[in-house]
Chains A and B, each alone.
Chain A
Amino acid sequence: QVQLQESGPGLVKSSETLSLTCTVSGGSISYHYWSWIRQPPGKGLEWIGYIFHSGSTNYNPSLESRVTISVDASKNQFALKLSSVTAADTAVYYCARVVVGSTRKWVDPLGQGTLVSVSS
């Protein structure tokens, strides 16, 4: 079955760019939508955005000015870049598959998550 694994630095300096990669295994990235979700310590889940395998994107309006999601089909990976980070961007970041059918939509699976801390 499809599995997702996040990778990237666990520590980013304030004002710099957070970069994460999600590797998809057990299936092709050339279908479905692929999403990033985050969860600050002790807080709830926040949808960051998603990308279709063709490259079209949609972002959370609250983050849109700082977010870029891209896909590399040759590596079966998609990536997140979040610029000008602050301490408020410290969170566990999850990647996920978003399945959009004609009558049903779901998010599954999610990766195990990776903690990214922003230091001053």
Chain B
Amino acid sequence: QTVVTQEPSLTVSPGGTVTLTCASSTGAVTSGNHPNWFQQKPGQAPRALIYSTTYKHSWTPARFSGSLLGGKAALTLSGVQPEDEAEYYCLLYYGDSQLVFGGGTKLTVL
């Protein structure tokens, strides 16, 4: 069973920069895994932010960016705002058949 691992929690100061990562138990994450990133606030459905590693949806704030970093998928928030406090999930695609979510990162803005 494939496992996707994220940092359980991270803390960042307002205006700061933070990078969340997403690792695969099968090896290095590549563009072929089409990493997707979601933001979820309490009581709300997840909201898509990033797809296929670097692409932003039309509603994704410019301070969010995606990349591959050291064999992992990464989500970087630059100039963090208080409203960015949320749970963040990555999603990886494996071939044409499987999707696997990471366990989520709880981001605290403090």
Contacts and interface: CB of A to CB of B under 8 A. Distances in A.
B45 interface: yes
Contacts of B51: 104-108
A61 interface: yes
Contacts of A35: 99
B101 A45 contact: yes
A58 interface: yes
A61 to B, nearest CB: 7
Nearest to A49: B99
Interface of A: 35, 37, 44-47, 50, 58, 60-62, 94, 98, 103-113
B55 A104 contact: yes
Interface of B: 1, 34, 36, 38, 40, 45-48, 51-52, 55, 57, 89, 91, 93, 96-104
B89 A45 contact: yes
A44 B101 contact: yes
24 contacts: A35-B99, A37-B101, A44-B101, A44-B103, A45-B38, A45-B40, A45-B89, A46-B101, A47-B91, A47-B98, A94-B46, A98-B99, A104-B34, A104-B51, A105-B34, A105-B36, A105-B51, A106-B48, A106-B57, A107-B48, A107-B91, A108-B48, A109-B48, A110-B48
A58 B96 CA distance: 9
A103 B96 CA distance: 13
Given A105-B51, A110-B45, 16 more contacts: A44-B89, A44-B102, A45-B46, A45-B89, A45-B101, A45-B104, A61-B1, A61-B98, A94-B45, A94-B46, A105-B36, A107-B36, A108-B57, A109-B48, A110-B48, A111-B45
